[in-house]
Amino acid sequence: MIMRLPTLRQLRHLVALAEHCHFGRAAAAVHVTQSTLSASLRELEETLGAALVDRTQRRVVVTPLGNEVVHRAQALLQGAEELVRLANAAAEPLTGPLYLGAIPTVSPFLLPRVLPGLRQAYPNLKLYLVEDLTDRLVERLHAGTLDVVILALPYDYGSGDVFPIGLDPFRLVMPADHALARLPSVPTESIRSEPLLLLTDGHCLRQHALAACDLAAARAGEVFAATSLPTLVQMVDNGLGLTLVPQLALDAGILNGTRLVARPVMGEAAQREIGLVWRKGTARAEEFQLLGRELQRRFEPA
């Protein structure tokens, strides 16, 4: 007996309906008519011999079995897309669409440096960029909506592989007339008594900076917080305290127009590693390693 199997088209229609909970919006999302979507779902239910969706006049409700099928269908669709991308990469690497996520303390400082050369080397690469906080990027990576993410390490990114791009040391930023500005490099113990300005919770740079200064967890709640590196710099320029800024941002000119200076911070912990991370076991691992080497090659400023 030959087992009837659902088609990828039917599974894609079910996933769209589960996401939108509305036949019209789901049909528009997958570029078919509402009647075509409805017929496709009925065929899927007949193939599986079970109801996947409860239809009422007011709303659409996916059944418990339907939710399980949706979960498995998403994995199957992701696998099918990986097959297509693998075939494209085998023919010519770094071509077609690639969804890249990057954290906000890296994206505006690193990507303008590396993207022009990357576009010149791989003109057929269609790079879609997403900037977000680390935890949300990692979530999207494992959900399959991002191919690779640029993170600051150390960070627990779950089951994945990482390609090291480069080291990004921290610098202590302060007014030019501050006492610590006279030092060629600043000991971490000298920073602990200063009013320190850091990013808000959710930015991995906050934890990396606290580790760089060897600040206790209790002190972590006492530092002032801002939502972005440019805001931190402006707060320091207004005499509200000192802050730690990664070298990437300094190289990009974040201190331009201010009265501030930057000094190295002593200690091996006073740096972060920038890495390219992708899902473990992906068929595109060799292609992502190639991307990592391209980013690594262009990481250091000219």
Q: What is the structure's pLDDT at 221?
A: 45
How do residues 24-81 score in pLDDT, each as one tens digit? 889 999 999 999 999 999 999 989 988 898 877 667 888 889 889 998 988 888 877 7
AA identity, residue 3: M
The pLDDT-based confidence of 85 (bands split at 50, 70, 90) is low
Q: What is the structure's pLDDT at 91?
A: 60
Q: What is the structure's pLDDT at 181?
A: 93
pTM (2 decimals)? 0.69
Whether the per-residue pLDDT at 22 is higher than 60: the answer is: yes
Average pLDDT, the chain: 86
Instruction: Name all domains of the chain by residue range, CATH numbers in brackets.
Output: 8-87 (1.10.10.10), 97-302 (3.40.190.290)
